Structure 1
């Protein structure tokens, strides 16, 4: 995207919900990790408020919760501002709601092993962390101790590109890995590389034993940005690839082989994020898909879009979802406005019904919370709006990630 365009953790979470605490954390690039309270009984402009701020390196990009820890990754400036490497930070989360001035407690920190720390994930057993660095085109693997602290990286994978892809504005001039995410078993790791039009697959026996498997190759100009795994009620695992540059979601079924390191992906559907019956777009960076999420009940899915040619509000699309290995796995339902510019990330609330959808608009530098109709999947009304400062169309300034409590 052109930078100049405008406009156990479960136990802790249950304890906070039972005490009446509602809200989320935000990776705010020019400030740190914001703790935001949310009171849906209040008016639109009063329901959201920042109650705490935690320094988390230079330009925090992503947040991941595991048990009572929150892991974050910064884009650069670790360990000092003279460094171009990103940092990984481990914070202890308070067991009671924050009050004004309170913050997360820093437990540990480590280099992300490259410039442009953009995403990190923790394996389900809490023993391994993976981090992707977009500018350096690297991915690193780290062992985690029982207390959640990070050891030095055991692996550092460097990606290279034989020739640039067709994406405009240098969007595919380098490999640009945008995510490093574990599957539900924790034995496999996926790394979508926007510039390569590939998703790298790894078998992770443990942090000290990682093997690279065969890549998933997508059409040139797809620009894979983020992925998601989902297990259906029948036990089938599905895998989704969000194409940032061609504005698509690709739906795969996943099969695990008898050998512990055997996994295969079968493509069933490619669907646009921009509206019904649309083909993949050219990788011209006019529209850029940013995120994909699905509801806990497996009935609905949502994808977010960024338009770089207009100052008008951006959009998110709503799909119904069926547990079928078919070309109608996702079905377009509707498209809504994000009421802001450049929705970098959005997330469903962590209650069983996913009652709310929160959107982080990066360039308009604000947060929007919608109430969701659980039967139709559509939005009912806006329940919160919070400005985090002036809009900034140049610097990485606004919110990059939302993590619900």
Structure 2
């Protein structure tokens, strides 16, 4: 099913017996769509929208246990960005709680801290070259906690994209001790611990990515489904400019000293296939069954989908890899994303559906997925 919206990023949650997709839209809207299935076909119905995260909502972070949604407005044509919060109602609608100005370009957020006590949300700021922290005060309220700004002594190997640090994501490690931030401009993955009382972040030794690679998004994986300092842990980094996925074995340093990374795998995000010129991978996720890794590829138009009146609609792609216990990846499949420029995707909790946000073609594609084989199928 395809819904017309200048779609940029989304989150997929379950409310009551229906599956709801919360969608942010660079045109200023945060939308809720209800996903229903009938005889193998899927449809999306718009049930709510708001402009209270305008003008350029870029990312949604959902606090499922507390029924809250946090929206980052990137502020593409403004000096600053903003952070908004909403309560999620039983019918999928949102009630606005608070909005505040932030440094420019917030594009991702992650909640951290004590699950039963004080928590905060950390934001990555792409154009602002910053990481900020906001204390969560309950009911969707929040207050500024910290601003960390970064600089580059000189532009990177790709000056048009690496003129400054560009923080692109905030990721919580599996043990909940560290926040990792891929920096596309500085070719780093920054690592932070935090003060347990104030929740202010402290920079530790980063992961140095290859020059010019442009780290964008990443995912952790524990092969045996358990998370601890002594558990086998891997980290998979997608680099947008190099179009690579790199696997690292992770070792936890003693006394909260950070993380050590040893490279165990690297490949084009196209796996064994020839990578198209200009390919720009974006999102990466481990499937709910903990067996596969899925990556979205933009700007490659590897597929042609049937359109109206015999026309062909160009489509970018999703790559699937099988995760191996030694940290390597085995290429499984390349499949159409259902449109152009899949900026983000979400996999439902059963692993049988993938909702893809194709930014340039302005559509949401619902793709069926075989949980046993990992293969992704036709758009619903």
TM-score, scaled to structure 1: 0.80
Change (3 A) 1:163 1:91: same
**Matching residue within 223, 226, 239 for 1:243:** 239
Q: Which residue in 2 is equivalent to 1:190?
A: 180
Deviations 1:274-307 (A, max 9, x none): 231768x9xxx81111111111211111111112
CA distance in 2, matches of 1:262, 1:131: 20
RMSD: 2.4
**Matching residue within 87, 95, 120 for 1:92:** 87
Instruction: Judge conservation of contact 2:37–2:43 (CA < 8 Å) in 1.
Output: yes
Matching of residue 140 in structure 1 with residue 136 in structure 2: no
CA distance in 2, matches of 1:289, 1:357: 17
Instruction: Judge conservation of contact 1:117–1:131 (CA < 8 Å) in 2.
Output: yes
Deviations 1:53-91 (A, max 9, x none): 0221211011111121111100128xxx9x521111111
CA distance in 2, matches of 1:119, 1:363: 20
- Residue 41 of structure 1 deviates from its aligned partner by 1.1
- Residue 209 of structure 1 deviates from its aligned partner by 3.5
Instruction: Judge conservation of contact 1:186–1:204 (CA < 8 Å) in 2.
Output: no
- Residue 257 of structure 1 deviates from its aligned partner by 3.0
CA distance in 1, matches of 2:347, 2:210: 30
Q: Which residue in 2 is equivalent to 1:104?
A: 94
Q: Which residue in 2 is equivalent to 1:117?
A: 106
Q: Which residue in 2 is equivalent to 1:356?
A: 353
CA distance in 2, matches of 1:322, 1:267: 14
Matching of residue 314 in structure 1 with residue 323 in structure 2: no
Structure 1 segment 1-400 matched on structure 2, within 5 A: 16=15, 19-41=16-38, 44=41, 47-55=43-51, 56-66=53-63, 67=65, 68-76=67-75, 84-94=79-89, 96-98=90-92, 103-112=93-102, 114-123=103-112, 125=114, 127-152=119-144, 154-167=145-158, 170-206=160-196, 207-233=198-224, 235=226, 236-276=232-272, 286-307=278-299, 312-325=314-327, 329-349=328-348, 351=349, 353-383=350-380
Instruction: Judge conservation of contact 1:137–1:158 (CA < 8 Å) in 2.
Output: yes
> In proportion to residue count, which structure has more strand?
2
CA distance in 2, matches of 1:293, 1:89: 25
Tell me the secondary structure at the aligned position of residue 165 of structure 2.
Answer: coil
Deviations 1:17-68 (A, max 9, x none): xx42113111111131110111121675x71121100221211011111121
Instruction: Judge conservation of contact 2:335–2:377 (CA < 8 Å) in 1.
Output: no
Runs of at least 4 residues of structure 1 off by over 3 A?
206-209, 308-311
Tell me the secondary structure at the aligned position of residue 315 of structure 2.
Answer: coil
CA distance in 2, matches of 1:260, 1:166: 33
Instruction: Judge conservation of contact 1:24–1:37 (CA < 8 Å) in 2.
Output: yes
Unpaired stretches in structure 1, ≥5 consecutive residues: 1-12, 384-405
Unpaired stretches in structure 2, ≥5 consecutive residues: 1-12, 227-231, 303-312
- Residue 110 of structure 1 deviates from its aligned partner by 2.5
Change (3 A) 1:185 1:124: farther
Instruction: Judge conservation of contact 2:59–2:109 (CA < 8 Å) in 1.
Output: yes
CA distance in 2, matches of 1:146, 1:184: 24
Tell me the secondary structure at the aligned position of residue 123 of structure 1.
Answer: strand
TM-score, scaled to structure 2: 0.85
The structure, 1 or 2, with the larger RCO (C-alpha pairs under 8 Å, 6+ apart) is 1
CA distance in 2, matches of 1:107, 1:324: 46
Deviations 1:168-210 (A, max 9, x none): 6x11122111112222233211111111111111112344442
